[in-house]
Structure 1
């Protein structure tokens, strides 16, 4: 970015474009809702990795956070963590993804969401490399983009599953088994996010949310797949345990350090 004003305007325009894309994605301006677009390939009952419909309420939180981030950019004068460029890219890619779905190009949407995931991963790396300037930045920036990354990590799998179904792929005749393998990979990614940097919360939380709703979908809706529901629930639990362990570990270290200091002090007094 060439200057604060250009950066702020770029973020604001990108956010407005993302909101326009979202309006189209919910059926405004003649668009079809996402679960009805592209022949319903992204509906809650379309594939073994599709989350139940209620899962998508997380977008309301993400969009509120992105709006807060846009306002925060007008307050932040330096962008010391260098997150504006990938943030802008994520907003534009979000709008592009919605437009590709509206056009029925589910295969192309996989490319777009993969790029979005890569951009959010870069952004997450920058956020974990440099501590936030305060509690507000931690909530508005780290929290928002953590949720964004966590959700897109799960949504990418569902998007790929939808594209494969649209291409006539049947999961080698064992779609449940293939879905379980994918969920295992998602669990590994979630554990990685949970232990990355300074104990991130939002990214693992969003992944747990998405996985939990996959479990609900496969337990209560078609395609009915109890094994996949269990696998999704286990993946969510594994990520939750990894995040909890990461939060407890520094505290244990701190307690051990305090104990060692107290012991050393007591010994020194006895020597005297």
Structure 2
């Protein structure tokens, strides 16, 4: 059964018109969100994300350096978009199952950037939750198509898992910022409890998702910088939960990686 699924993931005959449309849509979406991310960070659409985060401080916002990971995420997704556009890739069922959903994630991400920059934080939170749900569906579908060698692992499973690993913790941090915006900032204990829910979700996903190591890399990155920032401000409960989260994600990734290449890299 596994070999049959793998062969089905490799080819499905000549590319159709819908395959071509999807291929170009994925390429355009990857470029769109990379450009939106660059412009949004500079404040082109209104206030930059950093300015608004400082205006509405949260106890679970990571240190500023953590957000540099977006450059790597966008680059990885551009590489993925080019890979799925190659002639031998366009008709593969794996891309048919995930391509349009990726377009939706890019639209949600770009929309979040614009809406957040306009200081519409409640709407922005809805968009990032929708992004998280859509990415979860992408990874669920991707798991049905084992990687066909190094190229699939590095250019398909890896980039999508690397992207998804960041989003759960970004959702938690965004919710905390939104609560401050609504006039209900979290105290240290409630902030730690909220982060704990994010850590639990990240740990479970790390243990179960395809391409565990790329997923765990960005999840652990976010938690490390939440721990650093909270330690700097003396928010001990958040620091402790974030540190435990780093250990939990790393251990979950190591256990999953012991199951072989498919578990580790798709």
Pairwise TM-score range, normalised by the shorter structure: 0.7 to 0.9
Q: Which residue of 2 aligns with 1:238?
A: 248
Q: Secondary structure at the match of 1:235?
A: helix
Report how many aligned residue pairs link the two structures: 242
Query: Per-residue CA shift, 1:8-63, capped at 9, x if unaligned?
Result: 1111222232123113212164643211147733xxxx111100011111111101
- What's 1:35 paired with? 50
Is 2:158–2:211's contact at 8 Å kept on the other side of the alignment?
no
Residues 81-100 of structure 1 aligned to structure 2 (within 5 Å): 81=94, 82-100=97-115
Q: Distance in 1 between matches of 2:223 and 2:81?
A: 29
Question: In the alignment, is residue 13 of structure 1 matched against residue 28 of structure 2?
Answer: yes
1:191 partnered with 2:203 = yes
Shift of 1:249: 5.1
CA shift, 1:135, in A, is: 1.1
* Structure 2 contact 23–90 (Cα < 8 Å) conserved: no
SS in 2 for 1:132: coil
Structure 2 regions of 5+ residues with no counterpart? Answer: 1-15, 262-266
Report the Cα distance in structure 2 between the residues aligned to 1:203 and 1:56, rounded to whole angstroms.
16
The equivalent of 1:181 in structure 2 is 193
Name the structure 2 match of 1:255.
none
Map 1:16-165 to 2 at 5 A: 16-27=31-42, 29=44, 31-37=46-52, 40-41=55-56, 46-75=57-86, 76-81=89-94, 82-165=97-180
The question of whether the paired residues in 1 share the 8 Å contact of 2:47 and 2:118 is answered with no
* Structure 2: distance between partners of 1:26 and 1:184: 28
Query: Per-residue deviation at 1:189?
Result: 1.3
Q: Is the 8 A contact 1:51 1:211 kept in 2?
A: yes
Structure 2 CA distance for partners of 1:239 and 1:6, relative to 1, 3 Å: same
Higher relative contact order (CA 8 A, sep 6+): 2
- Verify the 8 A CA contact 1:10 1:88 in the aligned structure 2: yes
Distance 1:225 1:197 in 2: 31
User: Partner of 2:90: helix, strand, or coil?
Assistant: coil
What whole-Å deviation, never above 9, does each CA across 1:41-91 have from its counterpart, x for those lacking one? Answer: 3xxxx1111000111111111011111011112111224211101111111
TM-score by length of 1: 0.83
Write the distance in 2 (CA, Å) between the matches of 1:212 and 1:198.
Answer: 22
- 1:258 maps to which residue? none
RMSD of Structure 2 on Structure 1 (CA): 2.0
Change over 3 Å in CA distance of 1:248–1:12 after alignment to 2: closer
**Could you tell me which residue of structure 2 aligns to residue 264 of structure 1?**
none
Determine which structure has more spread, i.e. the larger CA radius of gyration: 1
Report the equivalent of 1:215.
227
Aligned position for 1:268: none
Whole-angstrom distance in 1 between the partners of 2:43 and 2:238: 34
Whether contact under 8 Å (1:150, 1:207) holds in the other structure is: yes
Q: 1:19 to 1:187 in 2, by over 3 A?
A: closer
